[in-house]
């Protein structure tokens, strides 16, 4: 056997040993949808839209109370009808609101987070289940989330800032229906 043949044979053996080692020690690949753990999102408020009988909303200095009647949704103060689709959209989006995280040791400093007094608040009367309350404070430092309290719990959580847009839509729809 020539020296070139020996070199080739040694390199082939070395490649096989290294390949076998890599195959044996490589971590198992996980593919999507094969039982890999999926992150479960925790919704903030647990309610069924069809069972909500009243929406009490404090937003941007405006107070709106909507009551479900046999004729549809109406403003509690004036009895003026409200657009059902606007309230249904609001409730649907509120049900989808997710807890993005919890703030540690925040209960003693509620005013720092804009929760005492609250910047905004929504209280839902749910038939057969009582009330569901979401108190909303200031934006977090990166302006992507809001500090909030759920059902008057001392725990401060983060929720998506899109909830303010939903509140604004509902207040605007109520004002437009009262004006027109």
Task: Give the model confidence (pLDDT) of 6-37 as tens digits.
Answer: 888 888 888 888 787 787 877 766 554 444 44
Banded pLDDT at 179 (limits 50, 70, 90): confident
pLDDT bin (cut points 50, 70, 90) of residue 147 is: very high
CB neighbours of residue 154 within 10 Å:
9
The CA distances from residue 150 to 26, 86, 160, in Å, are 45, 23, 14
CA neighbours closer than 13 Å in the CB half-sphere of residue 27: 3
Which residues, 6+ apart, have CB-to-CB distance to 157 below 8 Å? 44, 99, 100, 101, 102, 103, 147, 148, 149, 150
Distance, in Å, from the CA atom of 57 to the CA atom of 51, rounded to the nearest integer, reads: 17
DSSP 105-174: T-GGGGGGGTBTTBSEEEEEEETTTEEEEEEEEEEPTTSSEEEEEETT-S-EEEEETHHHHHHHHHHHHH
pLDDT of res. 36: 43
Proportion of the chain above pLDDT 70, given as a percent: 91
- Look at the alpha carbons of 48, 127, 145, 61 in this order and tell me if their dihedral is positive or negative: positive
């Amino acid at each position: 056997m020539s020296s070139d043949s020996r070199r080739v044979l040694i390199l082939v053996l070395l490649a096989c040993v290294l390949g076998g080692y890599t195959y044996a020690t490589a971590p198992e690949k996980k593919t999507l949808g094969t039982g890999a753990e999926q992150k479960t999102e925790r919704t903030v408020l647990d309610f069924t839209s069809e069972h909500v009988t009243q929406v009490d909303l404090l937003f941007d200095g405006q107070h709106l109370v909507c009551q479900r009647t046999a004729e549809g949704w109406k403003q509690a103060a004036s009895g003026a009808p409200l657009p059902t689709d606007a309230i249904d959209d609001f409730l649907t989006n509120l049900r989808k609101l997710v807890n993005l995280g919890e703030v540690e040791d925040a209960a003693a400093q509620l005013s720092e987070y804009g929760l005492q007094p609250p910047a905004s608040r929504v209280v839902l009367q749910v038939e057969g289940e009582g009330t569901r309350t979401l108190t909303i404070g200031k934006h977090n430092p990166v302006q992507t989330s809001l500090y909030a309290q759920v059902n008057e719990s001392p725990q401060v959580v983060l929720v998506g800032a899109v909830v303010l847009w939903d509140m604004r839509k509902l207040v605007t729809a109520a004002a437009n229906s009262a004006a027109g």
